[in-house]
Amino acid sequence: MFPSSSWPLPIFRFAMALVALAILALPRPARADRLRDVADVLGARDNQLIGYGVVTGLNGTGDDASAPFAAQSLRALLRRLGVQVDDRQVRLRNVAAVVVTATIPPFLRSGSRIDVTVSSIGNARSLQGGVLLQTPLRGADRRTYAVAQGPLVLGGFSVGGRSGSSVSENAATTARVPNGALVEREIPTAFTVDGKVTLVLRSPDFATAENVARVVNEAFGAGSARALDGAAIEVRVPAEMRGSPVALISRLGELEVQPASPARVVINERTGTIVAGGDVRLSPVAIAQGGITIAIRESPAVSQPGDFSRGTTQVVPNTEIDVQERKPPALTYLDGAATLADVAQALSTFGVTPRELASILSALKSAGALRAEVVIQ
């Protein structure tokens, strides 16, 4: 049954959203996921790179004299190129000092290209139209693994006039260089150790780890895999695949496994978003929800003295306080809900706002009636 049309529009829309959630949460046949979508191979990981560089070609929107590192970098660059300049002759505003970051995936060979992100560290107003000069990118071991260079691509803009007015969209001090870095040194990757491959779950869970080990044993024989803990599963490389572990990992990735779904409710009070997933349960409980609204209005009044008096005109504060207490409803009894659809249908009867529903869910968790983990963002 749909809510009454006399309800306020936000509450009516929220009730409709709960009804849609109940429909979407109706029991459906369980669908297994591929193992490659729930687990990674230990050792086959990304690595982060960072470097310091200089962007040139800016149209007067670069760093000024208050950012000395940009001028120092420009002078050092010119000296390396064989150009001697006087410090007093260096004029900035078309140069900006930046930090360049990138993520290098595993198995990349020398000569491969990766994207880089460029961000200003000075007081440049915009990097639009700039070109990143050759910048070494180093890893955590301070060794150079890639070199970045190229024109910047911005996702926003910033323009202004002499009067001080300006218009901007997104960030104009952060940019990207697609395929802007060349890999110069390969990162060794070892994903087999002593004839074993270790799979790491992206969402650790003991039940999921046990399911993965069982599926692998069914596919490659008993004793092929064992769960080390809630996140790692150790797989022995079969004798016939010792010389080709890549084939083993490829076959492992295609196996279907049923991951465990945690009972969790995520509440974002800033946006009013509530997402419930997994096997959320609700025990029988009685709920009453009410509130008090206090309105304070300030309306200063002018006090005018009488004629021929020696008084002065004064502004007198005038405060009006209005307290409205919404009559609390009687206790509403909710039967136990066995599925997420039942929980959504039960809570839709209250006609509350998302913020009020978040408070109700938190109170249900504290009372031990909500069988789920409540995460408040």
pLDDT digit string, tens, across residues 192-233: 888 899 999 988 889 899 999 999 999 998 888 999 998 999
More confident call, 272 vs 48: 48
Last residue of a domain, one of 213, 237, 257: 257
Burial 277-316 (b: 16+ CB within 10 A, else e): eeebbbeebebebeeeeeeeeeeeeeeeeeeeeeeeeeee
| 326 plus 365 within the same structural domain | yes
Please state the rounded mean pLDDT for residues 285-305.
Answer: 63
Amino acid at 283: S
**How many independent structural domains does the chain possess?**
3
| 57 plus 143 within the same structural domain | yes
C-alpha span between 370 and 263 (Å, rounded): 10
| 98 plus 226 within the same structural domain | no
Residue 273 counted as domain residue: yes
What percentage of the chain carries pLDDT values higher than 90? 27
Does residue 6 have a pLDDT over 60?
no
Q: Which domain holds residue 135?
A: 47-183
Give the domain CATH number at 248: 3.30.1360
C-alpha span between 103 and 72 (Å, rounded): 28
Does residue 176 have a pLDDT over 90?
yes
Does residue 49 have a pLDDT over 90?
yes
More confident call, 215 vs 281: 215
Does residue 329 have a pLDDT over 80?
no
| 350 plus 282 within the same structural domain | yes
| 247 plus 300 within the same structural domain | no
> Within the chain, where are the H helices?
9-24, 68-80, 206-220, 245-254, 340-347, 354-367
More confident call, 282 vs 218: 218
Q: How confident is the model at residue 95 (pLDDT cuts 50, 70, 90)?
A: confident
Does residue 71 have a pLDDT over 90?
no
Last residue of a domain, one of 257, 283, 299: 257
Q: Which residue reads 């349960």 in tokens?
A: 281
pLDDT of residue 28: 46
| 63 plus 166 within the same structural domain | yes
| 174 plus 283 within the same structural domain | no
Give the range among 1-10, 55-64, 221-230, 335-344 with minimum mean pLDDT. Answer: 1-10
Does residue 278 have a pLDDT over 70?
no
Residue 233 counted as domain residue: yes
Tell me the pTM.
0.65
Last residue of a domain, one of 183, 200, 229: 183
| 315 plus 369 within the same structural domain | yes
